[in-house]
Amino acid sequence: MQKSLKIIKYLLWAGIFFIPFTPLIVTSSLFFPFITGKNFFFRILVEILLGLWFVLALYDKRYRPRKSWILIFFGAFVFIMSLATIFGANPYHSFWSNYERMEGLLTYFHLLAYFLILTAVLNTERLWKWFFHASLGVSAVVGIYGILQMAGKLAIHQGSVRLDATLGNASYLAVYMIFNIFLALFYFAKEKEWYKWFYLPLIALQAIILYHTATRGAILGLIGGLALAGFVIALFSKSKKARVSAVSFIVLIIVLLGSFWALRSSDFIKRSQVLSRFSSISFHETTTQSRFVIWKMSWEGFKEKPILGWGPENFNLVFNKYYQPILYKQEPWFDRAHNVFFDHLISGGVFGLFAYLGLFFSALYYLLFKRKQIGFSSYDSAILTGLFGAYFFNNLFVFDNLISFLMFFAVLGYIHTRAVNQVPQTELEPRENVGDYKKPVLTAIAVAATVFTIYAVNVPPLLASYNLIGAFKESATRNFESALKSFQKSISYGSFGSTEAREHLVNFAMNIVQQPKIKKDIKIKVFEYASSEMKKQITQSPGDIRYMVFLGALYNKGGEYDKAINILEKAIELSPKKQQLYFELGTSYLNKGDYKKAVKILRTAFELEKSFDGARKIYALSLIYDGENNLAENVL
């Protein structure tokens, strides 16, 4: 039996060391190639590892979870999010999420399993060092990819100058580099051998990539995190030289920031595509103003459901209900508050936010107040404290993603392991605790449960995503009947991917119903199927006006104006200040020939925010249709 346990342990090690390679995965054959492939890889791998770990822990008690404040708060967070999902506004969506995000309660379950596996199996300092160095090695590969983007050899996927590498999003890449910069600094400070100097060019590469993501929150977070690390060294180090150096470093940062701000209007800074983003920071900037408006809307949503919130992945409901017309310059649909803490207030209420913040507080408790007991030097504590400070600041302006979660919970796992084990330097031999006749039965159940979970959680949405991409390809080649079959097949799997498949099905239908060269029977078939599926989506997602708008727009394209009016009026009841709804409803009345009603509707849209030039023009157009040319000229 001991030999079998060793094999399981080696398999666990192998699987765990695959996880740091997740950022490299890009799957062009799946919808949202930078998101779905990474998440399915992580989920399947964790599900396999969970089954293996369960068997190992079943036979050897030393691999079972051990209590720390970090684990307590993490468990509390997942428990609260489970309650928030059950009692939330849309439990199905809260659990499964969608292709674009792939978070939700299901991901929290996987992250908790990931944390438990890491902390049980990586039980020596050497194993943790290998694990984090795997991450550092992958960050170097990602960094080289970014350099090739800078050189124009590889495309920047967002279509701007902001690097995104294999993560597909500059903000995601930035926070990934923050974690790896601090990890490289951590081992540079710990290492005593000559090869410690190899960390410096790696840090330089990571810093260059971070800079060229032009992600302001992340870069300022890095600077603030380094200053915080210096403060901790000045506070705890016994070396006078180290304390003086730390204070000098903090002063240098302050001087450099002050100098930059004094020179922010210089030509050098204005010509820099990165530095100019920092020089433009102000309370009057459009992005800043929109963030404040969204945070105010989030606060209103929190006040409505303060205890357990709206459930994970339901910020869009708050955004629509408390929408402010001044946001017309932004994209029409937000599913995140662009502030992690407001996101958790909405997702899990005050209890959810408290549990999430507890992860930071518990980590800092061990780093700052228990550092000697768990064997951290002042440099160790300072650098990891700086990392949490940088990550915390960055989260004030963005939202998490799978890669930031993996890095965050890995570092928390390392601190947890130090706290409960004080991390021995060498691996202990496995100790069998065999003798219970139930264990073989439980092992068989674990194997069956693992196979079932892998299939049920991953296979249907994977196949749905693959067929959705097939529908796009068929549509692009104008093979509309085949495209429709691919949409039908994608939806037939009954996965969470059906939501996005239905959205794109409606777009597909709106595209072809007005094309004169397409056969009428195909148009009717596509229109009826698309409208039927979107009705199902509205039933599945009550209160989500996005799908009502999709259906209303489809009815308008298909000439069924009364049906469009009916569904759009219901949407306006749920989101009375969203101009887009009035535009679509006004279109219904214009197409129907009821110009008086159209004028009334579009006047309301215009008066919601008179600085919206698009609303002004649409209102004026309705006046022209109604024969009020003079009034239209006055409006324009």
For 391-422, what is each residue's pLDDT tens digit? 999 999 999 999 999 999 999 999 999 999 85
Q: What is the end-to-end Cα distance of the chain in Å, rounded?
A: 83
Question: Does residue 389 form part of some domain?
Answer: yes
State the sign of the Cα–Cα–Cα–Cα dihedral 211, 212, 215, 218.
negative
Task: Please report whether residue 524 resides in a domain.
Answer: no
User: Residue 333: helix, strand or coil by DSSP?
Assistant: coil
List Cβ<8 Å contacts ≥24 apart for 148-152. Answer: 150/212
The predicted structure's pLDDT at residue 272: 85
State pLDDT tens for residues 253-304.
999 999 988 888 888 888 888 888 888 777 777 778 889 999 999 999 999 9
What's 612's domain CATH number?
1.25.40.10
**CA 293 to the chain's CA centroid:** 21
pLDDT number for residue 460: 98
Residue 520 to residue 522: CA distance in whole angstroms: 5
pLDDT at 434 over 90: no
List the alpha helices (DSSP H) in 151-237.
170-190, 199-213, 216-236
* Nearest by Cα to 311 from 66, 156, 543, 117: 543
pLDDT at 4: 87
User: CB of 295 within 8 A of CB of 340?
Assistant: no
Residues whose CB falls within 8 Å of the CB of residue 429, separated by 6 or more in sequence, listed in order: none
Check pLDDT > 50 for residue 428. Answer: no
DSSP 451: H
Q: Is the pLDDT of residue 96 over 90?
A: yes
- Render 89-139 in DSSP notation, one character per residue: S-HHHHHH--TTT--HHHHHHHHHHHHHHHHHH--SHHHHHHHHHHHHHHH
For the CA atoms of the chain, what is the radius of gyration? Answer: 27
Average pLDDT over residues 132-157: 96
Q: How many CB atoms lie within 10 A of CB 250?
A: 18
- pLDDT of 168 over the 70 cut: yes
Section 548-566 average pLDDT: 96
Per-residue model confidence (pLDDT) at position 241:
92
Give the whole-angstrom CA distance, residue 317 versus residue 322.
9
Name the nearest CA neighbour of 415 among 46, 15, 69.
Answer: 69
Instruction: Please state, in angstroms and as integers, the Cα–Cα distance from residue 403 to each residue in 19, 115, 172, 421, 462, following that order.
Output: 10, 14, 7, 26, 20
In a 3-state reduction of DSSP, which class is residue 408? helix
Contact 630, 601 (CB under 8 A): no
User: Which of 421, 443, 469 is where one domain is finished?
Assistant: 421
Residues in CB range of 584: below 8 A, 6 or more apart: 549, 552, 553, 556, 564, 568
Quick one: pLDDT at residue 435?
A: 56
Helix residue ranges per DSSP H, 371-437: 378-394, 402-421
Distances (CA, A) of 575 to 25, 291, 562, 569, 611: 39, 19, 20, 10, 20
Q: Which structural domain, as residue segments, surrounds residue 330? A: 2-421
Q: How far apart are CA 364 and CA 328, in angstroms?
A: 41
* Domain final residue, candidates 359, 391, 421: 421
Residue 533: pLDDT band with limits 50, 70, 90 = very high
Number of domains in the chain: 2
Gap between the Cα atoms of 499 and 539, Å rounded: 12
pLDDT category at 425 given cuts 50, 70, 90 is very low
Q: Could you tell me how many residues make up the chain?
A: 636
| Residue 568 neighbours by CB under 8 Å, 6+ apart | 548, 549, 552, 581, 584, 585, 588
Q: What is the pLDDT of residue 158?
A: 80
Query: What is the identity of the amino acid at 16?
Result: I
What pLDDT, on a 0 to 100 scale, did the predictor assign at position 289?
87
The answer to whether the CB of 376 falls within 8 A of the CB of 189 is no
pLDDT band at 250 (very low <50, low <70, confident <90, very high): very high
Q: Which two tokens stand for residue 467?
A: 């067929």
Question: What was the pLDDT predicted at 422?
Answer: 59
| Res. 189 pLDDT band, cuts 50 70 90 | very high
At 440-467, the pLDDT tens digits run 899 999 999 999 999 999 999 999 999 9
Residue 311 identity: G
- Phi/psi region, residue 214 (left: phi>0; alpha: psi -120 to 50; beta: rest), is left
In a domain, 512, yes or no: no
- 345 by DSSP, 3-state: which? helix
Domain assignment present for residue 614? The answer is yes
Q: How far is CA 493 from the centre of its chain?
A: 25
CB atoms within 10 A of CB 253: 15
Residue 93 lies in a domain: yes
Identify residue 439 by its one-letter amino acid code: K
Helices and strands in the chain, H and E counts: 27, 0
Angle between helix axes 378-394 and 340-364 (nearest 10 degrees) is: 170
Of 290, 280, 390, 386, nearest in space to 338 by CA: 290
The tokens describing 222, both together, are: 């890095």
Locus of tokens 């310059």: 329
Looking at 398, 421, 444, the residue that finishes a domain is: 421
Give how far Cα 498 sits from Cα of 195, 265, 460, 469, Å: 52, 50, 10, 13
- Enumerate residues 6+ apart whose C-beta is below 8 A from 463: 490, 493, 495
Cβ count near 252 (within 10 Å): 12
The separation between CA 108 and the C-alpha centre of its own chain, rounded to angstroms, equals 12
